[in-house]
Structure 1
Amino acid sequence: MRAVVLTGHGGLDKLVSTDELATPTPQAGEVLVRVGACGLNNTEVNTRTGWYDSVVESSVSEELGVHGRDDGAASSWNQASVHFPRIQGAAVVGRIAAVGHGADRARIGERVLVDPSVRDEDLPPRAQLVEYLGSERDGGFAEYVAVPSINAHVVDSPLSDAELATFPCSYDTAEEMLERAGLSKGETIAITGAAGGVGTALIQLALARGAHVIAIAGAAKESRLRELGAHDFVPRDSGVLREEVEELVGERGVDVVADVVGGAMFDTVLKMLRRGGRYTTAGAIGGPTTKIDLRDLIYKDLEMYGITNPTALTFTRLVEIVQTGLVTPLLEEAFPLSELRTAQERLLKRTHVGKYVIVP
């Protein structure tokens, strides 16, 4: 089959196209999915560059994403090294082409949205994730991928495969962030990195919960985020971010901050929160290390939630949300498999709103 293989940690040159790989054989309890489309996510760049390693303190800049690192950084999100060669790609949509022993043959032909998180249900609820598609096991930047049958969710939707591929990874992460923070109708949420895949998902899912949304992103993204439904917009580089948010909500502060930026912005967004507010994060595109004034955490009685990957229940809920049409796919552009390097270069420029997708 055709695929793009990651041959090691490093720059874009580590992504190698091939048409000579054997089609995977589904093992017991697995299904083989013919990939219709696979969305791009920051996790692929993070894994390729070794950004998850604890020695890394910088953000995933365009320079780092294109050329990689030279310090031997090699860990994955779970602190174990990724084994090569590896096919990346977490956000898979396609049809079941074959099944392994014990899987229902009647599933052949089903159109499915794939949950990228492979879990061990014998572990504690927040520690069940043991493999991630495209990291610890092969993913969807290929014509076929084998996944546990339980991870392949039937989806009934008029959307194209490319449109559906914008949802996994980003939208289930966003829904888990909001669920964990308990965002409810009438509350105000500030969303950093609001123009990216998770950010735009947060906007739509927060609106579906009846929340008031303040989007924080680059100034050039304002019109598109307002079109998406954001009630208010604050440019991230205003220099007076906290003050501009306070002008909108008053000194009382916002109820929830959903943050995928981190870095230098972290201390500021904590100060935006009201007493008893909640902070939820699933990314650090602005850098993984930061400072915190513990007086904000202690004397404002804040709650903080770190999200690695969503629960199985959250992904099931996402499929239902997609099928009801409550969220709109923000497909920026689809690229053929052979242009994966180009697609990742575009992703790293951070000039888009929404998602890029690969179509085999």
Structure 2
Amino acid sequence: MRAVVMSGYGSYEVLVERDVDVPKISVGEVLIRIRGCGVCYRDTIVRRGFMRAKIPVIPGHEVSGEVVEIGDGVTGFSKGDLVASLIYIHNPRDPSCGEGYENICRSRVSIGEDRDGCYAEYITLPYWVLKRIGDPGDNPPEAYSIAACVVGTSVRALKTIGGVSRDERILITGAGGGVGIHAIQVAKALGARVIAATRSSEKADLIKRVGADDVILYREGFSEEVRRLTDGEGADLVLDTVGGPTLEQSLRSVRRGGRILLIGNIDPNPQRIQLGLVILREIDIHGVLNSTSRELGEAIEMLRKGLVKPIIREIGLDESMVREAHRILESGGSIGRIVITPGKK
């Protein structure tokens, strides 16, 4: 099969197209013909060596596809099923991997890092990390590659952890990126008022069209404009998809007693935080790591019902296209999610 392999750590040249064997299924696994593989900013962080992986490795953890072979011990799936996957493989026998904790358990294995991922035509995965898509509705199957890492993470942040209620004022940073543009839609489905912050004038119109109530186009900071839009109080909740570069502004944008949810960080270097602001304003800061099986199911349902419309750009399984996708992500130029579709040129 064709695959783009990460041959080492470094620049884009370590992403190399190769012919490799179709993986063989083990007990409890299925073989999936990949329909879509999202290209996540995390992939670029791994490629640059800030997060470790087995080398060589096929990157990619955002996968949707069709079940084509079923191993012994698999229940609940049939050949031809369209499925989407979690990004981590948990051990069902590990007590730390109980329901709701699959994403943070001690024995988890990262798809596309600890084992081969979805920059390929086929992938094997344990059946317990999969959810059936069923009727994909108006979306192509490849669109469901964003279910776990993009939409599911937003559901976990805003609903499961954030407990967002109707009419709460939410600020979303990095609003035009792969997570941000879909988090806006999740927040609106929960009844929130959304303030979206972006540096890109090219993304502002789309951000507004997907549902943001207010769009802040900024160069240096956005906290003053957030406070103006909230009668001087600040946002009830900040969903920060950027991390280090926006964290201080996020702290200054949230109201007293408000919440900040960190779901992304484009700068893997250590960050400084103004603890005085956190203490004096009783700000609740909470990390969010992807989604669990429950949120993956909710994300699929939101996509299927049209509550979240996938904003994706499809590319082929091609060395040059994948390298360019990494470059675009690192430059901040991606609008929505770039998705590798192996069956298309």
For normalisation by structure 2, the TM-score amounts to 0.90
- Root mean square deviation of aligned Cα: 1.8
Q: Cα deviation per residue 1:196-245 (whole Å; 9 max; x = unaligned)?
A: 011112101000000000000014121111111100011231x3521111
Corresponding residue for residue 339 of structure 2:
357
Unaligned runs of 5+ in 2: none
Q: How many residues align?
A: 330
Distance in 1, Cα, partners of 2:83 & 2:77: 13
Look up the equivalent residue of 1:335 and give its one-letter code. G
SS at match of 1:87: coil
SS at match of 1:328: coil
Letter paired with 2:136? S
Within 5 Å, which residues of 2 pair with 1:1-360?
1-19=1-19, 21-51=20-50, 76=51, 81-104=52-75, 107-121=78-92, 122-123=95-96, 125=101, 127-128=104-105, 130-155=108-133, 156-158=135-137, 159-178=139-158, 179-220=160-201, 221-237=203-219, 239-286=220-267, 288-338=269-319, 339-360=321-342
Normalising by structure 1, we get a TM-score of 0.86
- Give CA deviations for 1:231-279 in whole Å, capped at 9, x if unaligned: 0011231x35211111100222110000022224212211211121110
1:353: Cα distance to partner? 1.5
SS of 1:147's equivalent in the other structure is strand
Counterpart contact for 1:189–1:258, Cα < 8 Å: yes
Whole-angstrom distance in 2 between the partners of 1:270 and 1:95: 43
Distance across 2 between alignment mates of 1:286 and 1:10: 16
Q: Distance in 2 between matches of 1:264 and 1:128?
A: 28
Shift of 1:14: 0.9
Give the drift of 1:140: 0.8
AA aligned to 2:66 is: R
Which whole-Å CA distance do the structure 1 matches of 2:311 and 2:339 have between them? 10
- Cα distance change, pair 166–105 in 1 and its aligned pair in 2 (3 A): closer
Identity %: 32
Secondary structure of the 2:316 match is strand
SS of residue paired to 2:8: coil
Distance in 1 separating the partners of 2:3 and 2:315:
16
Report the Cα distance in structure 2 between the residues aligned to 1:276 and 1:106, rounded to whole angstroms: 46
CA contact (8 A) 1:162 1:331 kept: no
How far apart are residue 133 of structure 1 and its match? 1.4
Aligned equivalents of 1:328, 1:86: Cα separation in 2: 31
3-state DSSP class of the match of 2:261? strand
d(CA) in 2 for partners of 1:105 and 1:327? 26
Q: CA deviation at 1:290?
A: 2.9
Amino acid at match of 2:142: A
Q: What SS does structure 1 have at the residue aligned with 2:308?
A: coil
Query: Does structure 1 retain, via aligned residues, the 8 Å contact 2:148–2:290?
Result: no
1:314-342 deviations in Å (ceiling 9; x for gaps) = 11221222222211010134333343222
**Corresponding residue number in structure 2 for 1:72:** none
